[in-house]
Structure 1
Amino acid sequence: MMKKQNHLWITAIIASTILTACGGGDSSNETVVEDPDTTLPVTSQLLINEIVADAEDGGNDWIELYALEGPVSLASYTIVDDNTERTPQALPDVTLAQGEFIVIQAIDEEDTPPDSGYYVTFKLGSDDAVTLFKDGVQSDTLDWEEGDAQQGSSYGLYTDGTGTAQTLSPTPGEANQPSTADITYDLIINENAPIRINEIVAKNSESEHDWVELYVTGNYSVNLSDYQIADENNELVTLPDITLAPGEYYRLYATTDVIENTQTIAFKLGSSDQVSLYQDDDLVDQLSWKKGQALIGYSYGRFPDGSDGTFVLTPSPQSTNTKALHGPIVINEVVANDENGGYDWFELYNNSAQQISLASYQVIDGSDDIEPVTLPDVELAPGDYIVIFASDEQLTQHYVPFKLGNNDELSIMLNGEVVDYIDWDSSDVNTGYSYGLSAANSSDNSWHKDFLTPTQGTANELATAFEPNVVKNLYIDISDENWQSILASPLDEEYHQASITFEGVTLDSVAIRTKGGSSLRAVSQSNSDRYSFKIDINEYVDGQKFFGLKKFTLQNSYNDPSYMREVIAYDLMKDLGIAAPDHAYVNVYINNKLFGFYLMVEVIDSEFIENYFDNTNGDLYKPDGTGSDLQWISADIADYTGINQQNNEETTDNGAFINFIAEMDAGSESVIDVDSLLRYMSVSVSLSNLDSYHGTLAHNYYIYEQDGIFTFLPWDLNESFGTFSMGCRSDIRGLYIDEPTSGAMSERPMVANVFSNQDHLNTYHDYLWQLIEGPLADDAFAQRVNTIAALIDEHVANDPSAFYGYSSFIQNLDNSVDKFYGLTSFMTYRVNNMRQQLNGSLPSSGTGQGYCR
């Protein structure tokens, strides 16, 4: 530890327990203190309550003392750190009442003294101690070790004057608070949280104060004083002693002002911020928002009240939340890199029933040196668009005198307030593409933004990587070193850096790795390098996207001579209204050489959830391994090692999942999105798809939770059409429709619970008939196969790394190739078999032990 110089100057700041500051003092009086007698500790009215040894933002260290009893005169006290060569320094002649604090800054002798207040001339170390003496006799010591008082934290007593010494959140001159760094997230089960942060206003159009609304979600009353609240700075504020009944709302104004007869919390809300609700050391609830989600005139919060789903809202203090319509004027579309080298532009849209005078509005981009620019003097009719060019040249069209950057933002302002906002990254505005609202005139989707095809003055058009009726080229450029590393150790599934080019879009820094389970192992043991791959777009560049995607996969058609099992299966899922990944065929080039003909598939992740679900805040899992059968093991999430959580890792307690398993173990279906499961099962069972949840391995699926209800999502269907028969000696084309499991139905509770309800089983049978008499009927199915075959025929013929070859492709469309059933012959057999099961001429279930047993 650095040696500290002796000095006898001190200053201090006094603050009372009601958080008001006073004091200052004359630092010109030097007091010499004799060496103290440290042999007889005495009981003191004055205690060392808190220290900061590594102040943030270049501030001074400090020591806080607390009057446990009072009044107490500090004139009889001295203080020193653990440097045995240092003489204790005298405290000022100040008297503290009981419960008052004094804060003493700790500086080096060479430092410039603070402008006001009291100070000592020794700094505090990361492993140090401070000792207090009364009349030369040791009366109190606070000792800390390395790591106890890191930057951003303090160390002291909790609670003040009497509690245990521990790491704290710094509160100079105020009541000590536990360290937010030590908060344990979500120890309270989410769906059982008794109170939630329901709505916030960060820019109030009716008054000067922001506000936070709480809502009691449980079935019993809640006393707010049991909770603390904090914004993004994590300074905890205890809530008032008020009891709320179930279903009751309560509004707290977020302001540092004192408002008579009104409860406040001593912080303001930012345009991008977060509010957290704690009970002791448990994070009970959290609500965060980004810039543009809580503009003036809007609120942000939960819909329906108390749910997980969050939306832009119409402010409704202490009443039911309602979604807000985006408008009246919205930034609809931006182009920052015109395909033909033309001017940048942005498009505005009148999403209201009233005419808008644009001259009342101003626009500004993200540059610090540009002042707001008044929009053209144009009357914009309801439902009309206007395109405004952005150029540093003077134009004859409507324009603003600035260009749009690749990483930029636009704000529309009215009377000095931002009324609409959009921002983007460079990958959102690639040359030849635009970025903007997915549906400007839709009250449900008008806040969601997408990667677009430019459409000046007309409705926005999504630009997608997945065009099912076209085969495109995907170029991957990767260093020889990285490529050889992937091929040398494919089972490691380690990411390596590469660049990709697709439809004029080039991204220079993406991640690529092999993917798969048994198929990956099988290929690694063969003479082929034709692996399936996963591409992660933002592994190296935060926020980067590819046609709106964060990730996608390249499927190698392993165990599929037809190249289309997975395509047809996903298409049937979509036909039946199931949320399923988008997909399209691509020729994959590695370093400009054709490597193989692949299927590009959208990954089920946060972007997928945003596209298919209103509530985007639920927990997403990809089960594979222990716990993937969804049978009860215990209430400890650590015992479910194979559930593979995909999001919310830092904030969820997995309580919804544990409740899901517990409810199913009790025979309940209340936690299951029944209709999505019935639709999925009708397709999967029709295709005898046992490489799935209802098969031996209980994998190749996702489940997504919304307010405790779990939706089943399909994944990895390349071994459908009876290809996967592990553990099944029976003819898989005869799979029971009502007992479609490899093993006992009870081992697959998600299916067993739903199928045990006759009404659900009837609905499921209706879906099977819908398939049998529709897309799986002989003529319709054969037409589907032939259409896909015509699309991919020449690309299969030219595939340099094919597993099976062109002749096997042609043969497998109708007839078996080795163990792989022909598509049309399989479907004819299977449809006839299901029809007989539905009519009762063949059994649709067995003894409960599953079809394969």
Structure 2
Amino acid sequence: MISSKRIITIIAILAAVSLISYFFLVFFMDKQTNQSDNYSVEMEYEALLFDTDEIISIDILMDDSEWNDMIENAINEEYYKCDIMVNGTTIYSVGIRPKGNTSLSAIASDPENNRYSFKVEFDHYIERQTCFGLDKLILNNNYADATNMKEAVIYDMFQYLGADASLYNYAEISINGDYWGVYLALEAVEESFILRNYGELSGDLYKPDNMDVGEGGANNAENKQAGQNGNMQDPFGENSIPDNLNPEMQNNRAPEDSSQRGFNFPQRDGFQEDLSRDRADMPNVEFENMNSRGSSGGANLEYVDEELDSYSTIWNGSVTETTESDYRRVVTALQNISEGKDIERYLDVDNILKYIAVHSFAVNEDSLSGNMAHNYYLYENDGQLNILPWDYNLSFGGMNMSGANSDSDVVNDPIDTPFSGTTFFNVLLENEEYLARYHEYYQQLVEKYIDGGEFDSFYSKLREKIDILVENDPNAMYSFDEYKIAADMLYKTVKLRSESIKGQLNGTIQSTVEGQKSDPSTLIDATGIDIEVMGTFSMGDNRSDRIPTGNTSDNIDNQKTDVPTPNSNDQQNIQMSQEFDTSTQNNIPADKQNGSSQLLTQDGPDTGTTANTSLIWFFISLVVVIAA
């Protein structure tokens, strides 16, 4: 029979082992996730995919007939199964489909162009499969952007200020080993994004869009079985192929509305059951019948009343499983924000001020800045609202409403009245404390990012990496000469925009719409800027959506700003990815699964559960010792 002393000794040893295991596992968990004080989590894909020092290499491996079928039926936006080699690592049984709105429709109607944007969903066929922790990758074709870098520079600014925004990089895309083109790769705003930024999969996500779809509708099977968010019915009909493409959107120069209506999280508390993985993009629409601010269905985020029906556009854009109580929290927040009550309880003020600074620098009318209440995500967690950015290919005057934007309008856009489509942000911009903090973030952008050399470094590095890829792009929508002219113009536009903002910050230039109307004499001279050469989407006038030719280069030469040119030797040293032997795809095991990291659980790695168990055993052992 074991003596009581030996029992106590054994229990003490077990307790010590449990305690040591606990601290070891806690340390190990911190090393794996690098969870910071603000509960963000460092994901593996941040370094492996979105380190912009190295372009992502992506080879889409699928049967030629399947690829051709997907391209020929792109308007249906249906997922197809493929394998994808990402930087040398193959992920098997991945879902891929074309994406877009007006861009998809325009490309589908052009027999000479198959350059679609794509969604790559790693867990579409294999539950919880990821690419180094990333659940979905967006591959944007830079539609209506001759510079190929408008979105990239804006997302780089968001990163510089530390705002909650998607990670970005460029991707060299191949199809079965054959070079297809250079795309912008974006981290989708889905569960991995939420986990990376907030440390856990919690809260509710919405993708509001007030575009009047009439009787049109989502045209793919995904939306027909999207899980039905709460009690909301899908607002769009079936099998409606857009037939209302603006006749002026010729030569594939229309913008992508990019109204990606969301996603389904893996099954867990508070999120949709993963039925079809992804809700459809918003259908093509008649822009002339766009909802006004008064009938936006809440998409402009203005408080109307307590009735949930007044915010139907927000609920229709739910991308997580939501209920009436979730909607009530959003309405309560909107009401308190509109009344200026307890603002920091109902708004993530600091992040939204960063959002406003970068967003207003971009002069993107295809957003809340103009009359289109869309192209953003609304994130609500515990009653607090946050704004997440999306879709910036039409920045710097790219959305040219009836030719209204002049070159000077883009350069001198007033920073203190940046939103004509909503009054939601007024509670911040009309508050002296918040306005001063907003100006501080703007000061960082213009003095440190632009003047401090960060932008020059970004621009030069990017040109050195993508110039040769653009030049050899077999599916490019602009010629290489057009690209070079456009890229140079973007550099000059950013520099002059920064000069105007510095003047607005120090008071030498008026910073409101009314102020600039009353005193336009101090505005920055934008004579040397031509926003059309960067690619624009014109509506309601006779402008072509193609880049002008002729004397464009002469105009650029006459401008004051010197554009850095890529090092020719560096360009020559850039090599295309190694050729892929397409015969290897036939040898891939059917049941093979990728070796990439699996998606982290809601509370981090599984080691957390083990650590908690160890701590419980320690306390049980301690109680037994005391009782003995």
- Normalized against structure 1, the TM-score is what? 0.44
The offset of 1:639, in angstroms, is 4.7
State the SS of the aligned residue for 1:511: strand
Q: Which has the larger radius of gyration?
A: 1
Q: Equivalents in 2 of 1:687, 1:472: separation in Å?
A: 26
2:74 to 490, 498, 520: 490
Q: Secondary structure at the match of 2:374?
A: coil
Q: Matched residue of 1:725: which SS?
A: strand
SS in 2 for 1:739: coil
2:437 counterpart of 1:763: yes
Counterpart of 2:355 in structure 1 is 680
Show the 5 A alignment for 1:53-452. 328-329=20-21, 350=24, 438-439=31-32, 451=44
Task: Answer whether contact 2:206 2:378 (CA < 8 A) is retained.
Answer: yes
> Equivalents in 1 of 2:100, 2:162: separation in Å?
27
Could you tell me which residue of structure 2 aligns to residue 830 of structure 1? 497
Question: What CA distance in whole angstroms lies between the structure 1 residues aligned with 2:509 and 2:35?
Answer: 49
Match of 2:383 in 1: 708
Secondary structure, counterpart of 2:449 in structure 1? coil
Work out which of the residue numbers 733, 736, 741 in structure 1 matches 2:411. Answer: 733
Deviations, residues 713-762 of structure 1 (Å, cap 9, x unaligned): 11122222332233644422221111112x3xxx5132122112121111
Structure 2 match to 1:809 = 483
Aligned to 1:477: 61
1:601 partner SS: strand
- The amino acid of 1:760's aligned partner reads Y
2:149 matched residue in structure 1: 564
Confirm or deny that 1:791 pairs with 2:465.
yes
- Is 1:657 the counterpart of 2:349? The answer is no
Whole-Å separation in 2 of the counterparts to 1:445 and 1:773: 27
1:616 maps to which of 187, 195, 201: 201
> Does the 8 A contact of 1:476 with 1:589 survive in 2?
yes
* Structure 1 counterpart of 2:131, from 524, 532, 546: 546
C-alpha distance in structure 2 between counterparts of 1:464 and 1:713, whole Å: 23
Give the distance between the partners of 1:805 and 1:475, measured in 2 at CA: 24
Query: Match for residue 38 of structure 1?
Result: none
**Structure 1, residues 781-800: CA drift from partner, whole Å, max 9, x if none?**
33321121012222112111
Match of 1:749, SS? coil
2:395 maps to 720
Residue 85 of structure 2: aligned partner:
501
How far apart, in 2, do the equivalents of 1:837 and 1:621 lie?
34
Q: Quote the offset at 1:535 in angstroms.
A: 1.2
Task: Give the C-alpha shift of residue 847 in structure 1.
Answer: 4.6
| Distance 1:653-1:784 versus aligned 2 partners, 3 A rule | closer
Question: In terms of mean alpha carbon deviation, does 710-719 or 661-670 score higher?
Answer: 661-670
Query: Offset of 1:491 from its aligned partner?
Result: 3.0
More helix by share: 2
* Aligned residue among 110, 116, 119 for 1:531: 116
C-alpha separation in 1, matches of 2:34 and 2:507? 50
Rounded Cα–Cα distance in structure 2 between residues aligned with 1:441 and 1:598: 30
The structure richer in strand per residue is 1
Q: Which amino acid in structure 2 is aligned with residue 329 of structure 1?
A: S
Structure 1 residue 547, shift from structure 2 partner: 1.4
Q: Distance in 2 between matches of 1:751 and 1:449?
A: 30
Structure-2 residue corresponding to 1:513? 97
Question: Among 294, 299, 309, which residue is 1:628 paired with?
Answer: 299
Residues 1:841 and 2:508 are matched in the alignment: yes
Paired position in structure 2 for 1:466: 50
2:313 corresponds to? 642
Local SS of the residue matching 2:313:
coil
The residue that corresponds to 1:275 in the other structure is none
Q: CA deviation at 1:548?
A: 0.5
**Equivalence for 2:170:** 585
Preserved contact between residue 583 and residue 602 of structure 1 (Cα < 8 Å): yes
Q: Give unmatched runs, 5+ long, in structure 2.
A: 1-13, 211-296, 519-628
8 A contact 1:476–1:501 mirrored in 2: yes
Q: 1:825 to 1:706 in 2, by over 3 A?
A: same
Query: What is the distance in 2 between the residues matched to 1:804 and 1:441?
Result: 42
Map 1:688-707 → 2, pairs under 5 A: 688-707=363-382
Q: Secondary structure at the match of 1:558?
A: coil
| SS state at 2:388 partner | strand
- Residue 189 of structure 2 corresponds to 604
- Offset of residue 779 of structure 1: 5.1
Q: CA deviation at 1:495?
A: 1.8
Question: Which residue of 561, 566, 576 corresponds with 2:161?
Answer: 576
Kindly state the Cα deviation for residue 802 of structure 1 after the two structures are TM-superposed.
0.8
User: Are the structure 2 counterparts of residues 831 and 649 from structure 1 closer, same or farther at C-alpha, using a change threshold of 3 Å?
Assistant: same
Aligned equivalents of 1:438, 1:351: Cα separation in 2? 10
Query: Per-residue CA shift, 1:14-41, capped at 9, x if unaligned?
Result: xxxxxxxxxxxxxxxxxxxxxxxxxxxx
Tell me the CA shift for residue 597 of structure 1: 0.9
Q: Name the CA distance, whole Å, in 1 between partners of 2:188 and 2:19.
A: 33
Contact 2:35–2:41 under 8 Å retained in 1: no
| Structure with the larger RCO, 1 or 2 (CA within 8 Å, 6+ apart) | 2
Measured in 2, the distance between the counterparts of 1:762 and 1:449 equals 31
Q: CA deviation at 1:513?
A: 1.6
What is the CA-CA distance between 1:327 and the residue it aligns to? 6.9
> Which letter maps to 2:21?
I
> 2-side partners of 1:689 and 1:648: how far apart?
30
Contact 1:437 1:447 in 2 (8 A): no
d(CA) in 1 for partners of 2:506, 2:36 = 46
Name the amino acid aligned to 1:663. N
Deviates more, 1:696-705 or 1:632-641: 632-641
The one-letter code of the counterpart of 1:764 is Y
**What amino acid does structure 1 have at the position aligned with 2:169?**
A
Unaligned runs of 5+ in 1: 1-295, 298-325, 331-348, 353-382, 386-435, 453-461, 815-821
Cα deviation 1:201-254 (Å, max 9, x = unaligned): xxxxxxxxxxxxxxxxxxxxxxxxxxxxxxxxxxxxxxxxxxxxxxxxxxxxxx
Separation in 2 of the partners of 1:445 and 1:849? Answer: 40
Tell me if structure 1 keeps the 8 A contact 2:363–2:369: no
Segment of structure 1 superposing worse, 623-632 or 823-832: 623-632
Read off the aligned partner of 2:349 and give its amino acid letter: V
Residues 463 and 844 of structure 1: CA distance in aligned 2, closer, same or farther (over 3 Å): closer
Contact 1:438-1:448 at 8 Å conserved across structures: no
Amino acid of the structure 1 residue aligned with 2:24 = N
Match of 1:265 in 2: none
Q: Give the drift of 1:693.
A: 2.5
Alignment match, 1:340: none
CA contact (8 A) 1:587 1:596 kept: yes
The answer as to whether partners of 2:119 and 2:138 remain within 8 angstroms in 1 is yes
2:180 match: secondary structure: strand
Contact 1:581 1:602 in 2 (8 A): yes
State how far apart, in whole Å, the 2-side matches of 1:557 and 1:591 are: 22
Moved more, 774-783 or 730-739: 774-783
Q: Residue 638 of structure 1: CA displacement?
A: 4.9
CA distance in 1, matches of 2:43, 2:165: 19
Aligned length: 409
Check 1:795–1:449 CA distance in 2 against 1; reply closer, same or farther (3 A cut): closer
